[in-house]
Each structure stands twice: as C-alpha cells, then as structure tokens.
Structure 1
C-alpha cells in the first residue's frame, strides 16, 4: 500500500533561470519528469538571442548601465563601419589597385612602411599614456573614436595626395596608420576598463566575449549595407555621407560614455564629490549617478596635483626651508603635501596605503577649494586653517576625513580600487627628521 501511494503521488517543482522572469514548472509523477510550461516560438527565439549576445545571468550579472551603453556602442559601431568602407576604397586606390601603371613592389613597400609606422606608434603611445588609460578611461575612449574618424578622413584624402605609390601617398598612409595605432591602444585599453566596470559576478571574460559577439553582428550587418550602398557612393556624394555618419559616430560615442556610471573614484569624480561634501556642511556627498553625469569628459576638473611625485618636484617649486619643515611636520602621516603657487605635490612614504593616497588627494582638494571657492566652507568651517599652511591644512583634512568616508559609503562610492593616477615614487624619512 505504501509503495502504491508513492507511485501515484506527484510533486510540483519550479525552476527559474537567473535573469528570466518566467519560471519553468515540472511535475514529478510515477518517477517521470513532465514539463508543464510551454514557451512560444517567439519567446524561445528571444531567449536564444539573449544567450548568444548577452552575458550569462543578464541583467543581474552586469552593471545597471550595461544595456544603455551597449545600445549606443552598437549605433556608433554601425556608423563607423560605413565610413571605414569608404576609407578602405580610398586606401586601395592609393596602393594602385585598378591602375595599370602601378607597381606591385611599390605597393608592397608602402604596405610594409605603413605597418611599421603603426607598430612604432602603438609602442610609443602605450609607453607615454598607458597608466592614464585606467583612471581617465572615459576621456581616452572619446579620444580613440575622434582619432578613428581623423584616420578615416586622412585615408579618404589619400588619392588626392598624388599618383598611386608616390612618396606623398605613402606618407599619408603612414600618418593614417599611426593614428589608427593610437586608436587600437586607446580603444582596446579603455574597453577593458569598461568591461571590468560592467562585470558584476566575476564574469569579465564572458562580458568581453559577448561584447565581441555584438560587435561582430554589427559588422556583419554593416557588411551587407556596405556591399549594397558603398558602390553607389562616389564623387561628391561621399562628402555629405562621411559628414553624416561621422557625426553619428561621435554622437553615439558621447552618449555611450556619458551613460556609464562608475562607482570608483578618479581625480575628476573625487573633486566633484569633495565639492558636494563641503557644500553640504560635511554631512553628505553626491551620489554615483549624479557625479558621473556631471563629470567633464574632455578635460579634468580636479585640482592640479602630482600624487606620488619625486621629492625633486616640490623641491623645484618651494624654498628649501619650507620643504624641510613640511617633511618634519608630516613624517608621522606616511605622506607630505606641499602647496605651490599653482600646483600641489603629494610625496608618499614607502609604506603608504591607498587610504593615505585618498587622504592626500582629499587634503589637496580642500586646499584648492579654500583658495578658489572659499564661500563653500561657510557651513563646514576650516577655510582659514586650510589656507594657513600645510601643517594646519593637514590637521583640518584629518578632522574631516572620517565624516567624508562615511558620506562616501552612504552615497554608494567604492574606495577600492582607487584610480587617482598616483606615481610610483616613495620616500623613506631618515632618523634626522
């Protein structure tokens, strides 16, 4: 009898796929599993498309700004694919394709010179600006796209430089190659920074792979459009087409970058947060979305600070006695902040932590605001101390720091990692200090 009851008894089960609002229901009876939920064909197609082009677990596995960013990124990529096709036709003309008098050897030499210039450009740019691509990724992402459009414009002008394979044409191709090399470094590095921001479940590789799939799909659609319309875009018609799609490319990139709301602090975002903290009387600071919407994308609004600079930097700008006094008064802090005529210098100790870096930048921002916008301090106080000298400013910054950290936490900001562009110089104080 008991066995009979077990065979006829049924169990209801429900399964939910992460990121989906439609659960699947199962009935377990007579040792068989029966699916009750039946999806429509359209729902199945949509679900399959999500699996192919979106990270697993979407939307819970990515940041809240993921979809908006990807939509604008897709739009700008489509615009760029059309202008790139126009540029490719101009480059092939510059190599001599279609010209019976063109030399294969000359075209090969031009190709090799172009590639060589691009390789050198990539190495030099990564050496000079590689570190800034982390903490200023939004600005360099925009720079990459502007440079991409500039390179396409240079390539379009290639046939006007002279006969195919001539030195002038080769020079133009080399300039365009160097410009595209900068695009490769900027675009690749900043894309990695954005992917790190978007990945919320240790799924950076998945987010990156699905982003590549989306870009490939856009390129496939662009390929069909290019095969259809590019042969028709010749002569004067190419000029307005280039202007329209280049404008769309830049606008799409601007909207894509503007939609990103990063919780980490870089110099510009930290400056805006400190301004809001001081203006509130030291009680609160602006949230992540508000600050990211206000963050300048073309220039930095932060105080002119050299964080983690060599001691020679403040030594060249300050009298020797002031430098020595500052080192003596601040050695217990694992950092020393010096105020110059138009710049600020933060020397870090060998054992300085990220918290010390944040304190140094916080102090410099307070001093800068006290010098440029003193009325902000009416509610929080400390303006006169911040302008009295480095030691007094240090005491004021340390007094306000606990409240500032609390305000950061309440507003949703993350202090790890810090993207403040700190240099790698570290100082060890001698016993004579």
Structure 2
C-alpha cells in the first residue's frame, strides 16, 4: 500500500500535483464567473438561447482543436514527455487567462476569446493525457502500473472534492473584490501552478533520452 509500494519521490510528486490542481480549480472559478457574466447571466437583455449558442460554439471549437492537435502531435509526446507536460500546463493557463479576460474586450470579441481559450484547454487535455501514461509508468518501477493508476485516480478524486469546497469559499470571498486585486490573486495562483509543474517534472527521471539530449550526444560524435 501507499507509500510502501511507491518509489521515493512519489509522495512529493503527489503533493505538488495536488497544489497544481487546487490552483487550477480556483482560477477556473474566476473564469466561469467571467463567462457567465459575458453570456448575460443576471442581465434582462440576455436570452437562454444566446447563452446556449455561445457555449455550443465554445465547446465545438474545443473539440475541433483537440482532434487537430491529436492528429498533429500524437507521435511526438513519447520523445519528450516533460516538455509536453509543461506545454500542457502553460496551455491551460493561457486558456483560463483568455476566459478571464474575455469580458474586458468589446462584446464582438467575447465569443472568439472564450473559444480560443477553450481550444488551448483542449490541447492541454490531449497533451496531459498522453504524458500521464508515461509518467505513471515511471512511478510504477518496482511496483504495479495498475496500482499507480488507481492511486492517481483516487488522488484526483480527493483533490476534486477538496477543490469544490475551496472553490465555493473562494467564489464567495472574491465576490466584492476589486478587479485589480482579482488579477493580482490570479497571477499568484498561476505562478504557483507553473512552479508546481516544474517541481513535479524535476522529481521525474526517465531512463531514456529525449530528442534534445539525443541531438547533443550525436553532435559530440
């Protein structure tokens, strides 16, 4: 059982991964608030049909981006897992930022902005999912891959449940906060998210060369 059957470093990796997930959930609360404001929730002029249309277009763009990105990059993930995992987190950060900033733009740009944001988030989902298998396989050394997968799934479930509680408290706490303070808080959470990702990647040491290191070795010989 945990932590007996898991390699050294897995506990720290799980902790930093948990911090990443919480920071993403809190920022997603801000993004969801902005999207709901943008589609007209609370406005007498907005209709349910227009809000539904915005969500359908947004989700459709995300699906299309995910499919295109999978087609273009699916064969490259294995060659450089860490860089693609960092790419995934940067992509979701860009996506959430675009969704938060959408209401600051003129109304005609709101829908394109949230669509672009969801496209970045879709690319994150593809890259993170593809890299997740290799990362779990790394932690399964001397253990069981199914055991690691089960632990990873359970950790995400617990993180999601805790994140819901934090998100509810967070949403009420920032309801009357100024826009400047919100962006400062958002920037701090984004920094924590990226820092957590780098800490996670430094705890992983694959037993094969990525493309950059292979090129460096080949140039020496």
Give a deviation string over 1:51-87, Cα, whole Å, max 9, x none: 6xx4xxx433x33332221121111111111111111
How far apart, in 2, do the equivalents of 1:188 and 1:265 lie? 21
Indicate conservation of the 8 Å contact 2:7/2:142, yes or no. Answer: no
Partner of 1:176: helix, strand, or coil? helix
Determine the structure 1 residue equivalent to 2:115: 174
Indicate conservation of the 8 Å contact 2:26/2:170, yes or no. Answer: no
Indicate conservation of the 8 Å contact 1:63/1:197, yes or no. Answer: no
Change beyond 3 A, Cα 1:136–1:157: same
Displacement of 1:123 in angstroms is: 0.9
Partner of 1:136: helix, strand, or coil? helix
Determine the structure 1 residue equivalent to 2:181: 237
Higher helix share: 2
How far apart, in 2, do the equivalents of 1:204 and 1:181 lie? 26
Determine the structure 1 residue equivalent to 2:4: 59
How far apart, in 1, do the equivalents of 2:150 and 2:121 lie? 23
With the length of structure 1 as denominator, give the TM-score of the two structures: 0.48
How far apart, in 2, do the equivalents of 1:183 and 1:78 lie? 16
Partner of 2:141: helix, strand, or coil? coil
How far apart, in 2, do the equivalents of 1:210 and 1:191 lie? 13
Higher strand share: 1
How far apart, in 2, do the equivalents of 1:63 and 1:264 lie? 18
- Aligned mate of 2:191, from 232, 238, 247: 247
Matches within 5 A, 1:210-359: 210-233=151-174, 234=177, 235-269=179-213, 271=214, 302-303=215-216
Determine the structure 2 residue equivalent to 1:76: 20
- Equivalent pairs, count: 218
Determine the structure 2 residue equivalent to 1:369: 220
Is 2:70 aligned against 1:91?
A: no
Partner of 1:261: helix, strand, or coil? coil
Determine the structure 1 residue equivalent to 2:81: 137
Indicate conservation of the 8 Å contact 2:65/2:122, yes or no. Answer: yes
Change beyond 3 A, Cα 1:175–1:124: same
Partner of 2:182: helix, strand, or coil? helix
With the length of structure 2 as denominator, give the TM-score of the two structures: 0.91
Larger radius of gyration: 1
Q: CA RMSD in A?
A: 1.8
How far apart, in 1, do the equivalents of 2:220 and 2:137 lie? 32
Matches within 5 A, 1:95-244: 95-163=39-107, 167-200=108-141, 203-233=144-174, 234=177, 235-244=179-188
Using CA pairs below 8 Å that are at least 6 residues apart, which structure has the higher relative contact order?
2
Indicate conservation of the 8 Å contact 2:136/2:148, yes or no. Answer: yes
- Unaligned runs of 5+ residues in structure 2 are none
Give a deviation string over 1:131-162, Cα, whole Å, max 9, x none: 11112110010111111111111011111223
How far apart, in 1, do the equivalents of 2:100 and 2:210 lie? 38
How far apart, in 2, do the equivalents of 1:109 and 1:229 lie? 29
Give a deviation string over 1:74-119, Cα, whole Å, max 9, x none: 1111111111111111111122111111121111111111111111
